[in-house]
Amino acid sequence: MPPTPSMEDYIERIYLLIQDKGYARVSDIAEALEVHPSSVTKMVQKLDKDNYLIYEKYRGFILSSKGEKLGKRLVDRHELLEGFLKVIGVSQENIYEDVEGIEHHLSWDAIDRIGDLVQFFQDDPSRVEQLRDIQQQNEDI
Ligand SMILES: [Mn+2]
């Protein structure tokens, strides 16, 4: 069974917490995701059952290799989508919320194709300028 959007949010956040501090605790996750600790406990049990997590007594949780692999992929996907929205000219103030809104709902095929498009712009900055010209024209109408 593929992870649900909510599981993805947890794994992504746990991956970032572990990168930052070496471990993740229920209270840290609850704070970061703005949810009640009892919800975190429930999800942690589910992620443990599905072999994404390893519970370390007294310390908190670490990700299993399966969890870590997925966590890295989810964090990379988030960053790619931020880069994509940025390059197409979305206002900085909207980017984070927009990525949170779409990241769980695209196929990995779509993610990879967006990656190609980001690369297309990165490979030649004049392409970004051409896009900005079109955007300027559309604003002027
Ligand atoms: Mn995210």
> What whole-number distance in Å separates Cα of residue 77 and Cα of residue 101?
13
Q: What's this model's pTM, rounded to 2 decimal places?
A: 0.89
pLDDT digits (tens, 9 = 90+) for 67-84: 999 999 999 999 999 999
Q: What is the mean pLDDT of residues 99-110?
A: 96
In residues, how long is the chain? Answer: 141
| Lowest pLDDT segment from 13-17, 19-23, 53-57, 136-140 | 53-57
Whole-number Å distance, alpha carbon 120 to ligand 1 midpoint, is: 24
Cα angle for residues 97, 66, 99 (degrees, 5° grid): 10
Mention every residue, 6+ apart, whose C-beta is less than 8 A from residue 61. Answer: 14, 23, 24, 25, 44, 48, 53, 54, 55
- Sign of the alpha-carbon dihedral angle for 115, 89, 71, 22: positive
Q: Give binding residues for Mn(2+) as ranges.
A: 9, 12, 78, 100, 103-104
Whole-number Å distance, alpha carbon 102 to ligand 1 midpoint, is: 9
Whole-number Å distance, alpha carbon 141 to ligand 1 midpoint, is: 35
Whole-number Å distance, alpha carbon 133 to ligand 1 midpoint, is: 30
Q: What is the mean pLDDT of residues 12-26?
A: 92
Q: Is the model's pLDDT at 141 over the cut of 80?
A: no
pLDDT of residue 116: 98
DSSP state of 58: T
